[in-house]
Each structure stands twice: as C-alpha cells, then as structure tokens.
Structure 1
Amino acid sequence: MLHLRGLSCRMLDRTYPQEWVEHYNANGYALRDPIVGWCLEHVGVFRWSNPDMPDPYGVMQKAAEFGLRYGAAISLGPKNCRSIFSVARADRELLPKELEELEKLGRHIHQLLPRELELTVKQIEAIECVAAGMRMKQAAAFIGISDSALKFRFRAIREKLSARTNAEAIQRAKDYNLI
C-alpha cells in the first residue's frame, strides 16, 4: 500500500517477500515501476498482465522471477490524495470477485486515512525545538512550558503522525513538510 498526498508519501506498507523489496529498492524500481506509473495517472483496477502496459525496464519480468507473477493494482482518490494498493500471487490471476473485494477493502482503508495532516502552532514550535537538537527539558524551558506539558504535546504529535517515538515523529513531520 502506498498513500500519497501531493508529492509526499504519507504511508507505505509492504508485505511482499523481503528479498523482492530489497531488490526493488536496490535497483530504484519505484521510479520505473509501470504499475506505480499507471496508478499515478489513473483511478481504478489494473491487472499486471494487461498487454497495454509498457514496461521498458523489465520490472514486471523481474517481479515474476521473485514469485510475483500475477497481480493487480487498485488506485483510489484524486491525484493530490492518492492511495495505491497492489497485490500479487504466484499461482494464478486474481478472480473478479477477489478484485472486487480488494477494491472494497482499499476504499475502506483510503477513507480511514486523514484527509489533511496538520500540527498546531504550539505542536510545530515544540517539534522544531527538539528537531533542532534541544533536549526535552531545554525545549520546554525555551518555549516556557513544563516538561510534562511538552511531553503531552509530543504524545499528541506522535498520535497525529502515527509515530511510535519522538524521533520517528520528527522524521515524519519533515517528510510531510510540516516542519
């Protein structure tokens, strides 16, 4: 699953075999992947076996070598807020009923994702201090709040950004162009 908002990737979840993911990343396939290209330009369901799909870099042939022979992609939402779901099998094409269920599941997940991701002015102030290298105690003193108030702000920031740690929250805030 890939969720894009504008030019930023907001969510990426891969369940393909680790060997394929490593090969895909090492060879920079994301920018050459014909499925991703199709999904960025279209909404709907697209089978990997579609004969109209150009694949000048042989990404799909390489995927088949890793057991990802048959698959489909589901592209949902407007271009400025697009979710892409791609699934694969080694043994057979996905049945129409399976594609229908996958599209329904994809729509449900897409609707659950936040439409706009924003931090409050106070949250931005807090995360920028820590991102600049201040320790939590220093950042709290600089902002003029208690340590516990800063921890509370960071808990809310982590929740909004679906981050487990403050470091992950800072990285996501940078990735999402929030700071």
Structure 2
Amino acid sequence: MMNPNLVSHKDLADVLSFVNDCVVLPPGEVTNNLASRIGSLLPVDGIAAVVAEMGSDGDVHKTHVVNINYPAEWIDIYERCGYAEVDPVVQKHFSTFALQKWSDTFAAATSCTHRSFLEEARRFGLVSGITAGIRDVNKTRASLFSFCGAEIEKDPRHLTILKYIVPHLHEIFYKAAGVENSPRPEVSFREKDVLKWVKYGKTNWEIGQILMISERTVKFHLKNLAVKFNAHGRSHIVAVALSRGIIDF
C-alpha cells in the first residue's frame, strides 16, 4: 500500500480519485483518458501498455500492445524491427516483473545489439522512464506499463504512486482487452474483514490486533485470497476485490 511519508495529501487524493475511476467507469473510458489522468499524477511524456498471455514454460505467447501516447513512428519502427526481442527493459521485465528505472537497465545493457537499440530510442527522446507490471499468480497473464519522462525517475514518490496504481491498471487493461475473468470467487466474511483493512493500508500485525486474530492467521487469509483472485501482492489483491465488487471503494 502507499507510504504516507513519501506522498502528499494531494497525491493521496488524486490517486484515490484515479482508483475510484478504475472501479466505477467503463474500461474504455479509463484507457481513453489515461494520458491526462496519469499526467496529473506523474511527470510523464509517454505511456505504452502490453497485456500478455503466458505459457506454462514462462514464455510470452501472445501480446496486445496499447499505445497511449508514445510517438507513432517509434511504435511502427519498434514493431517492424522486432525490438521487443532486444529491448533490455522488456527482456528484464518479463523475467523479473520488478519495477525498474530505465537508466539502471540501460547502463547494464552493453552489447552491440543493445547499443544500437538505445541509439534509436534516444532519437525519439526515450532515455528516461519507469516500467512496471504484474504477472498473475497462476502465471498465465502478465502486464507491462512503460512511463517515459525526464523527471519521473528522480523522485521516490513517483515510484510509490506507481506501485499503488499499476495493479489497478493491470485489471482495467485486461477488461479493456476483452479478457474474461474467472467466475467470481467465494470469499468468507473473515476474508472480507481482512480485505477491508488491507485496503486501508493496515499491516498484518495491525489487522490481527483489530480482528483479534494472530498475524499468522492474517497471512493465511491473504495467501488464500491471492490464490482465489489470481493476484500478486497486497495492492493487486485489493485491486481485484474492488474491480469485482467484492468490497466497496
């Protein structure tokens, strides 16, 4: 959940407003207005998204690319040249699914193929940014979101905001792509209680104290919810619960 020590009250209000839109608005309306909405939260110049189907071997079998506002010429060159096979950010993302700063990844990319790709990317001003995304627990679906901007890497609050909103983007883009969700899972009253307090940003220990159960029991419920929701991490669990109407915003 969001660290209140790294974000302002305005950041919190803007993020909550964005999450509310992800929950209540049609997916297409959210994605169509994404550039302006994310632009109000973060200093971004371009956004691109990928939703992917993964095989049991861990390889990406099928992708759906959504260009929000990257240069159209760059997207055309990227696809024609098969740059997804050599892009170090994409390669790292689909092996680790960890949030990454482009500058760190580019600094470690030293092969001739990588250097050629980076020179072409620089021609379009794509030299600084952050990429994040999620792979579902059953490893059949994955997402990638790239946010380009000269300033986005510099402030830790930007990373905090992205860690919170990316799970909601993951859910909304799969809906927009027409990917069917599994049937709504059955959730116990106790699991809903745990979900409510996770949504409010409480730690496992705090939830245990509130509900008068052990921290180990809280972890047990969260593990079950992750499996039921095919979700990765606390924020993703909450994003799924909100998007499926299991808990209220």
TM-score range, shorter chain: 0.5 to 0.7
Distance 2:92 2:84 in 1: 12
Partner of 2:108: 52
Distance 1:96 1:27 in 2: 34
Amino acid at match of 1:86: S
Could you say which structure has the greater relative contact order, defined with CA pairs below 8 angstroms and 6 or more residues apart? 2
Distance 2:96 2:152 in 1: 21
Distance 1:76 1:20 in 2: 24
Query: Is residue 26 from structure 1 mapped to residue 80 from structure 2 by the alignment?
Result: yes
Shift of 1:107: 0.8
Q: Structure 2 residue aligned with 1:69, among 98, 121, 127?
A: 127
**Normalised by the size of structure 2, how large is the TM-score?**
0.42
- Structure 2: 5+ residue runs without aligned partners? 1-48, 55-60, 182-249
Which is richer in helix?
2
Rg larger in structure = 1
Partner of 1:2: 50
Q: How many residues align?
A: 116
The alignment partner of 1:60 has SS state of: helix
Q: Percent identity?
A: 23
Partner of 2:180: 117
Query: How well do the aligned residues superpose, as a CA RMSD in angstroms?
Result: 2.4
Distance 1:62 1:32 in 2: 12
CA distance 1:86–1:54, change in 2 (3 Å): farther
Distance 2:75 2:179 in 1: 29
Distance 2:111 2:151 in 1: 21
The alignment partner of 2:145 has SS state of: strand
Shift of 1:4: 0.7
Query: Is residue 82 from structure 1 mapped to residue 142 from structure 2 by the alignment?
Result: yes
- Structure 1: 5+ residue runs without aligned partners? 119-179
Partner of 1:92: 151
CA distance 1:4–1:53, change in 2 (3 Å): same
**Normalised by the size of structure 1, how large is the TM-score?**
0.56
Shift of 1:45: 0.6
Distance 2:52 2:140 in 1: 7
The alignment partner of 1:109 has SS state of: helix
Distance 1:34 1:88 in 2: 15
Tell me the alpha carbon deviations over residues 39-98 of structure 1, each in whole angstroms, 9 at most, x when there is no partner: 110122111111334554232332112111201110312442111111112x33522211
